[in-house]
Amino acid sequence: RREMHPFGVQVAIIEPGSFQTNLTDPRRMVENLEQLWQKLPAETQAAYGQGYIQSYTRTAVWLYPLISTRLSLVTGAMEHALLARCPRSRYSAGWDSWLLFLPLSYCPTWLSDSF
């Protein structure tokens, strides 16, 4: 944002949370993850361990019903950022973005990275 200001470019950051789409469908995610896992070198698989995939899969399946289906939250933020006379510098779309990502975005990088 700061880097573009001298050039007269106004930047709006849109931070969407998770939304139910084909990309976040747990069945497809698990299939893709397993395909990618098979392509990894044995050394990398050993470093992560088989428990990594199982944990990731459980989390994806458990969270999917909780994420929003209202994609209009994201498109509405995009529309406002593009068309508003005075757009905000930061937009958060989705409950998880408000509760998790928005507070983290104001934390120091070292803290958000460790989280």
Helix (H) or strand (E) holding 91: strand 90-93
Amino acid present at 13: I
Q: Which amino acid is at 95?
A: W
Q: Tell me what pLDDT residue 112 has.
A: 74
Tens-place pLDDT, residues 13-54: 888 888 888 888 888 888 888 899 999 999 999 998 888 888
Whole-number pLDDT of residue 1: 61
- 53-98 residue pLDDT tens: 888 888 888 888 888 888 899 999 999 999 999 998 888 888 877 7
Its pTM stands at 0.65
Element of type H or E holding 14: strand 13-16
